[in-house]
Structure 1
Amino acid sequence: MSANRAEPSEITGPKGTQLRVMRILTRSGVLRPARPDRNLRQLLSLARWGATVAGGYRAAAARSPHRVAVVDERRSVTYREVHRRAVRLANGLEKLGAAPGSRVAVLCRNHAWFVEAVVAAAELGADVVLVNTGLTVRATAEVLRAHEPAAIIADAEFADHVAAARLGVPFLVAWPESTGPGSGRPFEPAAHRRVATATVDDVIATAPDAKRRPPERAGRLIVLTSGTTSAPKGAYRANPPGLSAAASLISRIPLRACESVLVATPLFHMWGLAGLQISMALRNTLVLQRRFEPKAALQAIEERRCAVVFGVPVVLQRIMELPPELRDSYDASSLRVVATSGSAIPTPVVTAFMDVFGDVLYNFYGSTEVSWAAIAEPADLRIAPNTAGRPPMDSRLKVLDERGEVVPRGVTGRIFVWNTLLFEGYTSGGTKEHRSGYMATNDRGHLDSSGRLFVHGRDADMIVCAGEQLFPRDVEDLLASVKDIREAAVVGVPDADEGQRFAAYVVVRPGAEMTAPQVRGVVARYLPGNAVPRDVVFVDALPRNATGKVVVRDLPPSLAGD
């Protein structure tokens, strides 16, 4: 073993001294000098309200009151308007029975009302349950019942989901089928556990404009886990300890103040929420679309001169699938940063995307529970397109064996992370495994000799075939490079002889043809024999959730053979 490979798989991001944090925040424009009175109000808002969503939007409203905070398909609102509307909505929620320490459920797609609802709950000091819009009616009802919200704010399209929970609490419509006063009806006490509705705008219009004081306990954000293999769980997300959290992200991703940011992943997802939180610190304009559509996203980038996109890997895939002449007809020259997270990016997509849009791609590795673990910059991705990068400022990670010992670099083990934003536990009780203050990600991977992290897959994804440990990522990446394959998912299934085997679910590009033997032949040509999927199932599309992750439990049964 070489000296490099003998180095321990333990790495620490740059130390965030107070001077370093101030330099990063000044360089990005968070602390850019302005009128003394506005700077003072900005700092006082943060001092009183902390780095909560309410504090962030109060500070931004004090510093840049007339800057557009959010623009969606229906309207745009300034930072001052978001703050004032959120205060009135908080007062209205209080009149309807919500209180500091209670919970407010938000079931919305990406739009300005979502932002106002989250800020209003923070003004109130209530915990916000961010509900996945991709859940079934039954699953949504179960989530709502489990979290017992005092009020529910949801788009009109999810009325059946709310009604199925039969909670009898106020239900406010955020995105009504039509707009304007009177598009909802005033809330009335529930009779026989039935729900009456009003719109968010109706409540804001009739609520008092009374000033609010910071709650004794800051409300928390409750983010649901992805639920791709099991039922989603609510996870308490800690409020940032201060602006050092924003500096940590900016230390690896060069975000700047007062730019337009397209968030092309749901705001209820950890990465979409990160886009919202960092944008309020930077006083950016959030560009929101209720549903991702590649042409609409490119049009928004062109029209709004977006400098940054927050997305998930499937966003890159869908943009790259557009005909080149159509894709190139949009002006995306304003893009400086395309930051993705949520799942592994197929290796061929990484290189192809940067070849078209330039070296703007940043790959963020983290989870609902550990927040961030590592970030790959464009230079990292050019060298190793499948790397997760290195820890940002004030973050640390270790790769451990089953006994909890640090493994040498180049050796695969379990990934553990430390930072200041580890989650506070699940709403149902329990937490993640800890080792000496580091939290398990439930992923396996290794560090290379340069300190770059490579994630092979989740513990649950690993299979043991004839005594050999295998991960599906290598097979999926290989199949993604085949020109006739649009996308593929590889999972482990039981095998009577070998213990487990791989099954491949393949989506063929329109007009192309492939057979199961051809798929196996591609894998056999480049990977070990045990990695060759004996089961090859051709499907029209992979079942994905609202954040683009493949929902394994929704894949059809696989049977070995052609």
Structure 2
Amino acid sequence: MDQIGNAGTLARGLVPLVQTGVLGLMGPGAAAKAVGSIYRWEFTPAGLLAIGAGRDPFHTAIIDDAGAMTYQQLHEQSTTLARALSRSGIRERNRIGVLCRNHRGFLLALCAHGHLGTDIVLLNTGASAEQTRAVLKEQKPDVLLIDEEFLPLLPQGFAECPVVIAWEFGDTNGLTRDAEENQKPASNVRDALDSGNYATRNEEWASLHEVLRTAPPTGRLARRPRKGRTIILTSGTTGVPKGARRPEPSSWMPASSIMSRIPLRHHRPFYLAAPLFHTWGFANIQLALTLRSTMILQRRFTPTAAVQLIEKNRPYSICIVPTMLRRLLEAVPENFNPGTKVIAACGEPLPPRAIVSTFEKFGDVLYNLYGSTEVSWISIAQPHELKEHPRTAGRPPMATIVKILDDNGRECPEKEIGRIFVKNELLFEGYTRPGVDKEIIDGMVSTGDLGYFEDGLLYVAGRSDDMIVSGGENVFPQETEDVINSRQEVVEATVKGVEDPEFGQALCAWIVADEAAMGDRDEFIASIKADVNRKLARHCVPRYFMFVDKLPRNAVGKVVPRELPKPE
């Protein structure tokens, strides 16, 4: 019965592939190459790239800050990199570390890993030097591909593994480059430079250009390599990021699941603005390869450069995180019409103002995906749902089970807040750090979030460890944060629980305000309190307010609580 059910699900999963144009008529030669690629590499990024090279060899695969590459060129260069790494001693079950921004080097490493049957560790470009060094010590990569700008994140005299410089300083033709912004070291790099303990370029570390140029033209690679694991790091907002082991897709269902709720189209330009090392960016690499899209990449996101890139390339789809979207919306000029049909956001809650602004400036194109490193996708909100219910996380897509369970593992009735559990085709296989794991009930993995269903729509109340008890009442900071962020005077805000001598715990709001619009600060605070009290409940009103110049965020836009100033 399970086999019949699985076969039925796989058959239904073909429907989105037909609707998007992925499945279509092909000649005998292309069909044979596609079947051969699936047999050899299955549905890994290497396999999807090989299918693209077989079916559309001259279609542009990448446009990045160094130019354009076709599917055939990308496939050939990833194979060349795999041969070079194999020749240097990299074998199945070894680990490839990648610390790169959004550019071709990331894709080449990812697909070479598929050819070799290795595991690949995607490091966070926004992590501190201390976090980066701790992750490298824990994950122990056998080779590290790193952008030259991030060398200071390594300790002085780094010799734990061979290093390949994936992107060198000045390695750009300026297609989408904002020169002033891109020449500034990132804040985590500046901190590392200030410490005095940092690595500099070693003459023995070859560049990716040199590796590809000097690699042997032929060399033996496994006919059917092991299906490796992708290790994606958690956000690290509370400490050293954990590594989550992710299996490679075993079928087309992961792509079909997302396409069942987001109307993507094959061959269309696809702007991947979200960091590729993040779960959301990584998922969209696989979607873009499945669609045989042109992936538009920008090493360093800046709003003005992004607007120029969108105007020039007119992407059909944009993959982005909410913080980037908010900054992009501020830079979009009047009467902007790039023809974009899908803006898919994920990574943190969408501020209500960003939802409204997106509809005003781009039309009804916004899709909000709720997911996590451990469970991939959970639910997707479509434009009409966001218009009517801005706080919703939408509905579970095809072949995805989402349930709200109480502390005893029983399913909660509608509108009752409980713990969110998920089951789909791409659940993680556990953390790489011993003794740390997620709760699993009936094959469903806990997300660590609290939420509820209402009229078939999922709502996320917040992280279970963010909930506080104030004066005997359960309080969810996210609800208060949404109210504050909806105000015109607020540029951005976050709300967290803090210790309070009278109520045990209370809410504190950290606000970046438009000073001109805010007016008198005391009157503004009183207005916020009245607003929250009217829309929610008295215990949801913040007791403390902190006004800051900006919120501390990591590379994917999540607020880092430990870096928030203590309330006065």
Counterpart residue type for residue 48 of structure 2: G
Distance in structure 2 (CA, Å) of the matches to 1:480 and 1:89? 46
Tell me the distance in 2 between the aligned counterparts of 1:422 and 1:455.
Answer: 20
Deviation at 1:215, TM superposition (A): 4.8
Q: 1:494-516 CA deviation, whole Å, 9 max, x = no partner?
A: 12221210111010125444525
What is the CA–CA distance in structure 2 between the aligned matches of 1:265 and 1:283, rounded to whole Å? 19
Taking structure 1 as reference, are residues 130 and 45 closer, same or farther at Cα in structure 2, changes over 3 Å only?
A: same
The 3 A distance-change label for structure 1 pair 164 and 398 is farther
Please state how far the C-alpha of 1:316 moved relative to its aligned partner: 2.1
Compared with structure 1, are the counterparts of its residues 241 and 164 closer, same or farther at alpha carbon in structure 2 (3 Å cutoff)? Answer: farther
- Bigger Cα displacement from structure 2, 337-346 vs 293-302: 293-302
* Equivalence for 1:518: 524
Q: Are 2:277 and 1:268 aligned?
A: yes
The 2-side partners of 1:517 and 1:228 are apart by 33
Task: In structure 1, give the amino acid aligned to 2:296.
Answer: V
The within-5 A match list for 1:100-249 is 100-164=92-156, 166-179=158-171, 196-210=204-218, 212-249=221-258
Structure 2 gaps of 5+ residues are 1-5, 173-201
The equivalences for 1:456-535 within 5 A come to 456-509=461-514, 511-513=516-518, 514-516=520-522, 518-525=524-531, 526=534, 527-535=536-544
Residue 437 of structure 2 aligns to a residue whose secondary structure is: coil
Partner of 1:437: 443
Tell me, yes or no, if the aligned pair for 1:96 and 1:170 is still in contact at 8 Å. no
Report how far residue 523 of structure 1 moved: 2.6
- Pick closer, same or farther for the CA change 1:164–1:402 going to 2, 3 Å: farther
> SS state of the match for residue 271, structure 1?
helix
Query: What is the Cα deviation at residue 203 of structure 1?
Result: 0.8
Question: Which of the residues 89, 97, 113 maps onto 1:97?
Answer: 89
Is the contact made by 1:15 and 1:393 (CA closer than 8 Å) also made in structure 2? no
Report what 2:325 is aligned to: 316
Counterparts of residues 366-385 of structure 1 (less than 5 Å): 366-385=371-390
Instruction: Work out the CA distance in 2 between the residues paired with 1:341 and 1:151.
Output: 30
Distance 1:217 1:129 in 2: 16
Give the superposition deviation at 1:227. Answer: 1.2
Name the SS of the counterpart of 1:408 in structure 2. coil
* 1:310-349 map, 5 Å: 310-322=319-331, 327-328=333-334, 330-332=336-338, 334-349=339-354
Q: 1:54 aligns with which of 46, 54, 61?
A: 46
Partner AA of 1:543 in structure 2: P
In the TM superposition, what whole-angstrom CA distance separates every residue of 1:274-309 from its partner, at most 9, and x where no partner exists? 110111011001101112122222222221120000
Offset at residue 400 of structure 1 (A):
0.8
Contact 1:365 / 1:388 at 8 angstroms: preserved in 2?
A: yes
Contact 1:310 1:340 in 2 (8 A): yes
Output the amino acid matched with 2:383. Answer: P
Q: For the Cα contact (< 8 Å) 1:145–1:167, is it kept in 2? A: no
- Whether the 8 Å CA contact 2:134–2:240 is kept in 1: the answer is no
Shift of 1:453: 0.1
Deviations 1:237-283 (A, max 9, x none): 11111112211111111111101011111000000001101110110
> 2: CA distance between counterparts of 1:242 and 1:116?
22
1:428 aligns with 2:433: yes
Give the counterpart letter for 1:292 in structure 2.
F
Distance verdict in 2 for CA 1:93–1:15, change over 3 Å: closer
Change (3 A) 1:143 1:380: same
The alpha-carbon deviation at position 15 of structure 1 amounts to 10
Which residue of structure 1 lines up, in the alignment, with residue 184 of structure 2? Answer: none
Query: Per the alignment, in what secondary structure is the counterpart of residue 557 of structure 2?
Result: coil
SS of structure 1 residue aligned to 2:154: helix
Whether 1:542 aligns to 2:532 is no
Q: Deviations over 1:60-95 (max 9, x none)?
A: 111111111111111211111111111111111122
How much has 1:23 moved relative to structure 2? 2.3
Residue 301 of structure 1 corresponds to 310
Contact 1:168 1:195 in 2 (8 A): no
Conserved in 2, the CA contact under 8 Å of 1:543 and 1:551?
yes
CA distance in structure 1 between the partners assigned to 2:227 and 2:257 by the alignment: 22
2:288 counterpart of 1:279: yes
**Higher deviation after alignment, 399-408 or 293-302:** 293-302
**Shift, 1:130, TM fit:** 0.3
Per-residue displacement from partner, 1:435-494 (whole Å, max 9, x unpaired)?
Answer: 11111000001000x210000100111111011111112211111122221111111011
Please tell me the residue identity of whatever aligns with 2:438.
K
Contact 2:93 2:119 in 1 (8 A): yes
Give 2:30's aligned residue.
38
Q: Which has the higher contact order (CA 8 A, sep 6+)?
A: 1
**Structure 1 residue 104: Cα displacement:** 0.6
Q: Does residue 1:85 correspond to 2:77, yes or no?
A: yes
TM-score by structure 2 length?
0.90
Instruction: Single out whichever of 259-268 and 15-24 deviates more from structure 2.
Output: 15-24
Q: Deviations over 1:87-117 (max 9, x none)?
A: 1111111222321110010000001111111
Stretch deviating more after TM superposition (166-175 or 135-144): 166-175
Q: CA–CA distance in 2 between the matches of 1:289 and 1:58?
A: 24
Comparing 107-116 and 297-306, the one that deviates more: 297-306
8 A Cα contact 1:87 1:209, kept in partner: no
Q: 1:510 to 1:285 in 2, by over 3 A?
A: farther
TM-score by length of 1: 0.91
- Identity, % of aligned pairs? 41
Query: 1:16 deviation in Å?
Result: 5.9
Partner SS state of residue 493, structure 2: strand
Moved more, 511-520 or 115-124: 511-520
1:454 aligns with 2:462: no
Offset, 1:356: 2.3
Q: Does 1:404 align with 2:404?
A: no
What is the CA–CA distance in structure 2 between the aligned matches of 1:330 and 1:517, rounded to whole Å?
Answer: 36
Structure 1 residue 354 displacement after superposition = 1.1
CA distance in 2, matches of 1:226, 1:214: 36
- Tell me, in whole angstroms, the C-alpha distance in 1 between the residues paired with 2:153 and 2:287: 31
CA–CA separation in structure 2 for the residues paired with 1:156 and 1:227:
23
2:265 pairs with one of 256, 271, 285 = 256
**Rounded Cα–Cα distance in structure 2 between residues aligned with 1:195 and 1:329:** 51
CA RMSD of aligned residues (A): 1.9
Contact 2:41 2:225 in 1 (8 A): no
